[in-house]
Amino acid sequence: MRRLLILPLLLGVSLPVLADLGDAEVSVEEVVNTEQKSNQLLLNPSNTVYEGFCGEVSKEDKTECLIQFKNGLLTVNEGKGLELKKIKDIKYEIIGNWGFMGTQYWWYQYTFIYESDKERTEADNNSLWPLKMPWDSTKELKAAKITLQHGTRGGYRAAMNFQDDIETWIGGSLWIKCTGAVPLGGATKRCDDRTNSYDPAARARAISGALAPLNNALQQRNNYIFTPTSPNNYGSNSPASQDYQNHLKQNQQFNQQQYQRHTDSMQDFRIRQLESGY
């Protein structure tokens, strides 16, 4: 009888609950709040607003835009921004261009391949089949291009700063492909792929060295055996002397012009041969 009376009392006593990891456990709310705070402070390489071009660019057609890092996201204008974890690939290319009167400028072009939520079409919204199959993907790959420019009006420092910001954001170095006339030190610190690129100064030095024998031959060919002599008329101010000096000066100018034209044409011809691989 006593056992039956004591049993309810024992059942009413709450036994201590042992935690899965004991003293190692902490507050879930504290962890979440700490993570949220760290994400807000996270990966904003700088607060700089960069002026660039968005989408496809050409000499005739460019779309201006503003690029900035906000809350760890890469943003364009007033867009919602792109998370780093959604990026699948970044292709970085420095493109050398020639402008008016032989001036140079460069495009620093970034192509982002990233994952995005698939946009529903009007047909999807009007579909009578609401069910989604397991193989129906809600994600799709997209591409976007951002281009900065450096030229006669500046822009080199901004291009280098943006490259530094991108590399800080992704936590590593970008593979740089150079295309066209891209001088090291003048347009970029390095090129990892120069298959379709060249340094204009180095090419000019190479062409100059290749043309040196031709220039020497032209100069030797135009060394005059008989040089013009002044007339034997007395008095340098006589009308005959003045006419002769004027005529001699005109002949010298004409000869110099003809020589320069011939030299230029021969150099252009040789340059075309070198560029063609002959």
Q: Mind listing the pLDDT tens digit of every residue in the chain (278 residues)?
A: 555 555 555 555 555 555 677 677 777 777 656 655 555 555 689 999 999 999 999 888 899 999 999 999 999 998 899 999 999 999 999 999 888 777 888 999 999 999 988 776 666 666 655 555 554 567 789 999 999 999 877 789 999 999 999 999 999 999 999 998 888 877 888 889 988 888 776 666 665 665 556 556 555 555 544 455 555 544 556 666 677 777 777 777 777 777 777 776 676 666 665 555 54
Domain interval for residue 104: 40-119+136-198
> End of a domain among 146, 166, 198?
198
Q: Does residue 257 sit in the same domain as residue 186?
A: no
- Tell me whether residue 128 is in a domain: no
Structural domain contains residue 13: no
- Same structural domain, 181 and 93: yes
Looking at the fold, whether 244 and 106 belong to one and the same domain comes out as: no
35 within a domain of the structure (yes/no): no
pLDDT of residue 18: 58
- Indicate the DSSP class of residue 86: G
**What is the reported pLDDT for 38?**
55
Q: What residues pair up with 140 in beta bridges, in sequence order?
A: 116
Looking at residue 268, its amino acid is D
Its pTM stands at 0.57
* Whether 162 contacts 108, CB under 8 Å: yes
Q: What is the pLDDT of residue 224?
A: 47
Distance CA 159, CA 52 (A): 9
Q: What per-residue confidence (pLDDT) applies to 74?
A: 94
Query: Which residue, among 43, 64, 78, 52, has the nearest Cα to 158 in the 3D structure?
Result: 52
Q: Which of 198, 225, 248 is the last residue of a domain?
A: 198
Examine the domain organization and report whether 62 and 187 are in the same domain.
Answer: yes
Q: Quick check: 172 and 153 in contact, CB under 8 A? A: no
> How high is the pLDDT of residue 155?
87
